[in-house]
Each structure stands twice: as structure tokens, then as C-alpha cells.
Amino acid sequence: MKFRVIFLAFLGLMSISCNQGSSSAGISIQPEITLNSPDFEQISKDNYSIKVHKDWIVELYPEDEMAMYIYLDTSDDFVENINLIIRDLGDVAITLDEVAQAAQREFASQGRIISSEKIITPSKEHQRMIVTSKYYGEDLKFILHYIVKNSHVYILTFTSLERDFNTYEKVAEQIMQSFTVK
């Protein structure tokens, strides 16, 4: 029980709470995404790898809680970014469905869950959520990928201003979908 309280508190700190307005839920089985473009460079760590677009900047371990911070240096005031948080579950057995349900409950107080679906590819299974929320007066839009593997929860989050989301979504999604756990 103590872990669940800590885990829910972590989800609250890590993400912006969102209200479940109109949402879609389901399971999607998809083919593997292959990025063989020279525009993407692979970053490999001990237990995961990800391909990052050449225009995006990577910082490893920028903060205690964050394993990776990938951002786009643009001329506007907001820094569109993808961050990776890895949580060690230890001996606690938790499923992807439980993580997704906890995240949806946590996001239920403000904002809106646009979609939430489990995606299965040949190399991974993850929960993909798209949420919107107001944060410090800005309308933000997020893509979150939750992966549970090898006693860890991997949380990838793309954050953008809602008005700029469509501009960066395709490349951000390609980066996030290239993420694999070894």
C-alpha cells in the first residue's frame, strides 16, 4: 500500500492532472516503427535505447528524477520537450493496466484526457495517452507513453503548447515510438 501511495504521489508530481472529458480507450496492435533516416541518431544506455532527431538536443540525467531530457531549441518562449522518467518497482508486481488506471485517476481533477490506448508492437507494449491541461496560464498538450518492463516503469512525456502541438507531434511521436527497453 505504501508503494501505491508513493507511486500515485509520483505520478501527480511528474504530470499535470487532467480531467477525463471525452476520451477513447482501447488496444491497438501496430507494426514496428523503423527510423532508418540519417536525421535520427540512436542513444543507447544500459537498459534502453531511443532514436533522437538531429534538431533535438539531449541531456542525460538533467535532474535526479529524470533519466533523459530531449528538447527543441526554438525562438519561442516555450521549450517543447520529451522527458524520460524511470521508476524502479523493486519487488512490487504492477501491470501496465494498473499503471494506466492510476494515471487516469491521477489526471481526473483538471484538464482533459483526449485519448488513452494500449499499443502493442512486436518489441513492446505501452499505454499511450494524450492529455491537455492549463499550467501556469498556458494551454499545454502532452503525449505520455507508459512502459512496464523488468521491474521498472518507463514514462516518456512530450510536452508542447497546445497551439503548437501539431507542428511538433510527428517528430516527437517518432522519437517516442523508437524507445525500446532491453
CATH of the domain at 128: 3.40.1000.10
Count of structural domains, the chain: 1
Nearest to 145 by CA among 163, 162, 131, 134: 131
CA angle at residue 151 from 148 to 154, to 5 degrees?
A: 40
Measured over the CA atoms of residue 169, residue 171, residue 11 and residue 22, the dihedral's sign is: positive
The residue segments making up the domain with residue 69 are 2-181
Rounded Cα–Cα distance for residues 159 and 157 (Å): 6
Residue-by-residue pLDDT tens, the chain, 182 positions: 333 323 333 333 343 333 333 334 455 554 444 567 888 999 999 899 999 999 999 999 888 889 999 999 888 889 999 999 999 999 999 999 999 999 998 887 778 999 999 999 888 899 999 999 999 899 999 999 999 999 999 999 999 999 999 999 999 999 999 999 99
pTM as predicted: 0.80
Amino acid at 141: K
